[in-house]
Structure 1
Amino acid sequence: MLGLSRSQVHRLLQAYDLAGADGLVSKKRGRASNRRHSEDFRNLVLDLVREHYVDFGPTLATEKLLERHRIAVSKETLRQWMMEAGIWVSRRERKKRVFQPRGRRDCFGELVQIDGSHHWWFENRGPKCALLVYIDDATGKLLHLRFAGSENTFDYLHATKAYLQQWGKPIAFYSDKHGVFRTTHASQQDRTSGLTQFGRALYELNIDIICANSPQAKGRVERANQTLQDRLVKELRLRGIDTIAAANAYASEFMADFNRRFGKEPRNPKDMHRSFAAHENLDRAMCRKEVRKLSQALTLRYDKVLFILDPTDLAKTLAGNKVVVCDYPDGRLEITHEGTSLPYKTFDTLRSVHRSEVVENKRLDDMLALVAEMQAGREQQRSQSGPRRTGQTDHMFGIRDGSTANGYQKRGTKPGRRTDFTNDPVVIARRQQALAQLKAAE
């Protein structure tokens, strides 16, 4: 009945006769296991965790101890050690959260969730930036990651173009109601008039975009962001990565490891990504497009720059008609009509206004030399509301605006602005010196 052998029952009976009920207790109770790690080994592991992995979870810390220190320890053993040392809090002690489950899609590429996560990805080693995340709903695999200075239209166009080149066209993207994806001025008559630039680009490629009503609705990418803010930050720290360019170079390696650990197999093996049709132009679609009316003089204005079309036979027939200005994420600008590119030259209408100096007409040489030096460094400010990206080629001057190491502008600085020498103390002093010399000569 007890499931014990006859000799064992005799031993228990003898122990009961000698010590009563206490004799039935196992002699191993309260004694350390023969396979227990020594205190020195336990202290060594905890010291390494406190020094390098104090904010790591037990599972990730176990992996890093094996990869970086060649120390093998069970994750459950490490979990107990970390809880006893006050480094880790068990799930039972955390506040429980309630989530309403939603089933995954059946096929790979059927629904791709996208989101931007603003975070201190480089901790105190670099600036705060955004990570654009593309994750498949059916498999939970990361399909594309891109670090950017901010969550804006041009970076989403650049990232989406790279995604489409690698995987093809999904059935739909699933996003939040960020201004990049959704406009509040939709039209009931024309479907395309109410689209954002990003939505218009997807519409041209026959890709739908669905906006979620709450963060919980697109929980797949939100949960992935939490994991990335834990694991990716620490991987960047361990590798000493502190720039956006270096992080983008490492992203593919991290995605491969992430998908190997956390990716799931879809219920249906069919890949729903589609190839591009013959009439679809990926490069021409992934840009900012503005419609402008061409004057009788074959000119148009965009971003406070006057564009003058070359008087070709085609351009002459378009006077008074509408053309499309294509502003690409890499800084290129193209003027097209029905898919045909129109050559042009620019004429900058911005002129800095300042009060002229009073100079005698026979003493102009020195003043003109000073004015020429000032004009060489004078600011030519573009429209602050225009679609400017730091690092893009200036439409008028063919130079690049002041940019950060990754080619994108730091937040809080005005776009398209170069150094202004008008109020520079050195320039003012030289101007006053020149005027004094002119007056002395007079």
Structure 2
Amino acid sequence: MPEYLNMSTKEIDRVSVMKELVSKEIKAKRAAEILGLSVRQVKRIKKRFVQEGKFGLVHRSRGRISNHRTPPAETTRVLAVIREKYSDFGPTLALEKLKEGHGVTLSRETLRKVMIEGQVWKPKKKRALVIHQTRRRREREGELVQMDGSPHKWFEERGPYCTLLVMIDDATGKLKHLRFVPAETTAAYFEAVGDYLTLYGKPMAFYVDKHGVFRVNTQKEGACSVTDSTGLTQFGRAMTELSIGLIFAGSPQAKGRVEKANETLQDRLVKEMRLRAISTIEEGNAYLPQFQTEFNYRFAIDPLNPVDAHRPLLSSEHPEKILLVKETRRLSKNLEFCYGNKLYQVQTNRPAYALRHAPVTVTEDRDGAVMAYYRFQRLEIAVAERLPNLRVVDAKEIYREVEKVIRTPLIPAENHPWRRSFI
């Protein structure tokens, strides 16, 4: 029965060289040059080849268990912990938790193989490569902050469906601010930006998508369109007052930094909150600063230019007076204006004619408090009784409605042509 021998390509190449060396066709120095070995090593290999033939060229460790192999008992213990606590964790995140709380010292690749063999992790399928043009990071922290809202089941089935507002610096990849909110609204973004300004100052620009919070998207005739330079949303108006630029991304890939962060957060943050039994928006917001610090320590990088691009707020810039809803109304002859489905009247001791038909700025803060200003002076206002909406109609429409009530319907006779059957 023929005897088979498994040899590597390197070992097969050594066979022909050793034959030439044994038959003295070449010298040991030349054989060492061909094989990329020292002369001493070539002589040792030649000795084994003469004594054992081809078997002498096979590596001595082949078929033997490595001295560095993870003990089966340790592998079993690790898999048991993963199945109990981290069953849907990926290898990287699972390894972090195993090192922190269970004293596991495996490498990430070893743990990945263990999880695949134990059928607790299924590797992702390789997708077709889609190439997008890369954009260089900004050089300074604060030059560009990517901002987005990510609606998701952040608390899984333990709490409400909500949105995470994410702000990430383009130059460093740092998470600058995180906040859970019920929905992606203007008020929610105002609150998040207010916190950002308090912590860091004013960035040069925010990089956002084309959500209706950030820009006017209507193209209807007669409405302020996206091409109208005065067509600002409340958020856009506030950023103009603060001298903060707004850059609109044409696609999700354009603001890939924050999109990738959303994907990572939907994996890591969800699992971290599960381990801590966090199930409400309030509890989540209380935990976010700790998570943000740990995330930035692990993933953030240093900027190319260490000079911070954030600008301090000017003495004339008060976020609480800018980050709110502002609209213009014109007073009636009775000094009244409509806002929020209510009728307000200005209370003043001045002659009424001084303010008749005057334009006033109406503001509403996050608490719903409504105020009115005329030439930067606050006006005293009170809610007046509002009459029900009345629709003006002409005489013809009134006549038609009356006819519907008093007119007796005409019933045709039995022999009327309309009652005949048509075949």
Identify the TM-score tier after normalising by the shorter chain.
0.7 to 0.9
> Which residue pairs with 1:166 in the alignment?
199
- Structure 1 pair 5/50, CA: closer, same or farther in 2 (3 Å)? farther
Distance 1:264 1:321 in 2: 54
- Structure 1 pair 302/93, CA: closer, same or farther in 2 (3 Å)? closer
- Structure 1 pair 97/56, CA: closer, same or farther in 2 (3 Å)? farther
> Structure 1, residues 172-217: CA drift from partner, whole Å, max 9, x if none?
11111111111135469973x3000100111111111011111111
Distance 1:216 1:314 in 2: 59
Cα contact 2:216–2:226 (8 A) shared by 1? no
> Which residue pairs with 1:414 in the alignment?
none
- Structure 1 pair 186/139, CA: closer, same or farther in 2 (3 Å)? farther
Q: Aligned AA for 2:301?
A: K
Distance 2:352 2:284 in 1: 45
Question: What is the correspondence of 1:370-385 to structure 2 with a 5 Å cutoff?
Answer: none
Q: What is the CA-CA distance between 1:329 and the residue it aligns to?
A: 1.6
Question: What is the correspondence of 1:71-150 to structure 2 with a 5 Å cutoff?
Answer: 71-90=104-123, 93-150=126-183
> Structure 1, residues 255-306: CA drift from partner, whole Å, max 9, x if none?
1111111111111111111112232221111011121112232222211212
Q: What is the CA-CA distance between 1:14 and the residue it aligns to?
A: 4.3
- Structure 1 pair 138/315, CA: closer, same or farther in 2 (3 Å)? farther
- Structure 1 pair 95/49, CA: closer, same or farther in 2 (3 Å)? farther
Find the partner of 2:331 among 278, 284, 294: 294
Cα contact 1:16–1:22 (8 A) shared by 2? yes
Task: Please say if 1:331 is aligned against 2:364.
Answer: no
Task: Please say if 1:224 is aligned against 2:261.
Answer: yes
Q: What is the CA-CA distance between 1:162 and the residue it aligns to?
A: 1.0
> Which residue pairs with 1:311 in the alignment?
348
> Which residue pairs with 2:305 in the alignment?
268
- Structure 1 pair 332/315, CA: closer, same or farther in 2 (3 Å)? farther
Cα contact 1:173–1:210 (8 A) shared by 2? yes
> Structure 1, residues 64-105: CA drift from partner, whole Å, max 9, x if none?
001122322211210121232333344674554433211101
Unaligned runs of 5+ in 1: 352-442
Give the secondary-structure state (helix, strand or coil) at the position aligned to 1:335: strand
Give the secondary-structure state (helix, strand or coil) at the position aligned to 1:278: coil
Unaligned runs of 5+ in 2: 1-31, 218-222, 389-423
Q: Aligned AA for 2:334?
A: A
Question: What is the correspondence of 1:120-269 to structure 2 with a 5 Å cutoff?
Answer: 120-184=153-217, 185-186=223-224, 191=229, 193-269=230-306
Cα contact 2:334–2:352 (8 A) shared by 1? no
Q: Identity percentage over the alignment? A: 48
Distance 2:205 2:327 in 1: 25
Cα contact 2:324–2:365 (8 A) shared by 1? yes
Q: Aligned AA for 1:50?
A: R
- Structure 1 pair 37/296, CA: closer, same or farther in 2 (3 Å)? same
Give the secondary-structure state (helix, strand or coil) at the position aligned to 2:98: helix
Distance 2:368 2:277 in 1: 31
Q: Which moved more, 1:210-219 or 1:312-321?
A: 312-321
> Which residue pairs with 1:399 in the alignment?
none
Provide the aligned length of Structure 1 versus Structure 2. Answer: 350
Q: Aligned AA for 1:3?
A: L
Q: Which moved more, 1:329-338 or 1:261-270?
A: 329-338
- Structure 1 pair 57/96, CA: closer, same or farther in 2 (3 Å)? farther
Q: Which moved more, 1:315-324 or 1:101-110?
A: 315-324
Distance 2:236 2:54 in 1: 78
Distance 2:86 2:53 in 1: 50
TM-score normalised to structure 2 length: 0.77
> Which residue pairs with 1:39 in the alignment?
72
Cα contact 1:309–1:315 (8 A) shared by 2? no
Q: Which moved more, 1:334-343 or 1:93-102?
A: 93-102
Q: Aligned AA for 2:185?
A: N
Q: Aligned AA for 2:163?
A: A
Distance 1:145 1:314 in 2: 51
RMSD value, Cα: 2.4
Give the secondary-structure state (helix, strand or coil) at the position aligned to 1:342: strand
Distance 1:109 1:293 in 2: 40
Cα contact 1:304–1:348 (8 A) shared by 2? no
Find the partner of 1:3 among 20, 37, 53: 37
Distance 2:224 2:194 in 1: 25
Cα contact 2:216–2:225 (8 A) shared by 1? no
- Structure 1 pair 97/52, CA: closer, same or farther in 2 (3 Å)? farther
Distance 2:215 2:327 in 1: 18
